[in-house]
Structure 1
Amino acid sequence: MRLIPACSVILLLAGHSTRAAEPTQTADLLLEAPYRRAYVVMQRFPDWVSRGQATSTPVSRVASGGRTYLLGHLCKPHDCADNQLDIVFAADGHAAWGLLHVRPDAAHPFLQSWLGSPDEEIQALLLRNFAANNPPGP
């Protein structure tokens, strides 16, 4: 029978407890239930955005940087003041970008989310469109 020195056993146990005490990585949670389900739900757009069931303005054709775009504004029916989406389409329809604006009520600022990774030029179009559809109050 072979005896393992006591210091080796302590080192083995210490190594095991260190690995067990390592914090969970955020990316690992995305793969585990129930976190995976919550992550998928978080990524969903509100129904009025996903389904295109919205109140909207007429589309305008704008030129910027030598290119032509179609620019529009949507909002949630019966809640336009707090739920809006500005959208830009490439004129040929090959790409779209947006800026989603959501807030619980008029007492709070909008939380804004860029959609489609717009560059600075497209971001400027979206922000100008938002301002045009939300003039400052008196």
Structure 2
Amino acid sequence: MLKVSLCFFLALTPLCGARAQTYPPEIAKAAPAALAAWRAITPRAYRREPWIARLDGVSTPLERVTMHGKPFYYGAVCIPHDCGGNFVSFLIALDGSDAYGLLASQTLGVRHRWFGAPDAEARGLLQRKING
């Protein structure tokens, strides 16, 4: 009974066995090849923006999706302190073999900028993250 109460009220991962959540900035440690794939497709003009180049911004936990038979990190990041209209969404293969992105940023004057060469399925997922 005590274990259930603690899990319910405190959501203690070790006691409850829940899966820990991963956030975009943690990709660098969890899957360095994945971050390298992302950086390889990031246009030079945006490599100095940490929220784009390192996915180090405001975000929700990563999702994992399967596309083309491979697992991908799926998420979005916004510019700190200015999220409204400033997002980059991404799909990055966990093994670093593929990466795709979509940037929409009022601050940077970018309406829609695709990263990589996403097919129709990837474009749909990326747009869904940007549009909420």
TM-score by length of 2: 0.56
Match of 2:17 in 1: none
Runs of 4+ in 1 over 4 A off after TM superposition: none
Q: In structure 2, what is the Cα distance between the partners aligned to 1:128 and 1:52?
A: 18
Q: In structure 2, what is the Cα distance between the partners aligned to 1:126 and 1:52?
A: 15
Match of 1:125 in 2: 125
Task: Specify the code of the residue in structure 2 equivalent to 1:54.
Answer: G
Q: In structure 1, what is the Cα distance between the partners aligned to 2:59 and 2:124?
A: 20
Shift of 1:119: 1.4
Which structure has the higher relative contact order (CA within 8 Å, separation 6+)?
2
Q: In structure 1, what is the Cα distance between the partners aligned to 2:64 and 2:44?
A: 30
Q: In structure 2, what is the Cα distance between the partners aligned to 1:103 and 1:81?
A: 8
Task: Specify the code of the residue in structure 1 equivalent to 2:85.
Answer: D
Match of 1:107 in 2: none
- Alignment of 1:81 onto 2:84: yes
Which runs of 5 or more residues in structure 1 are unaligned? 1-41, 105-109
- Alignment of 1:56 onto 2:59: yes
3-state SS in 1 of match to 2:45:
coil
3-state SS in 2 of match to 1:124:
helix
Shift of 1:93: 2.1
Task: Specify the code of the residue in structure 2 equivalent to 1:81.
Answer: G
Task: Specify the code of the residue in structure 1 equivalent to 2:55.
Answer: G
Q: 1:68 to 1:52 in 2, by over 3 A?
A: closer
- RMSD of aligned alpha carbons: 2.4
Matched-pair identity in %: 35
Alignment length, in residue pairs? Answer: 87
Q: In structure 1, what is the Cα distance between the partners aligned to 2:55 and 2:65?
A: 22
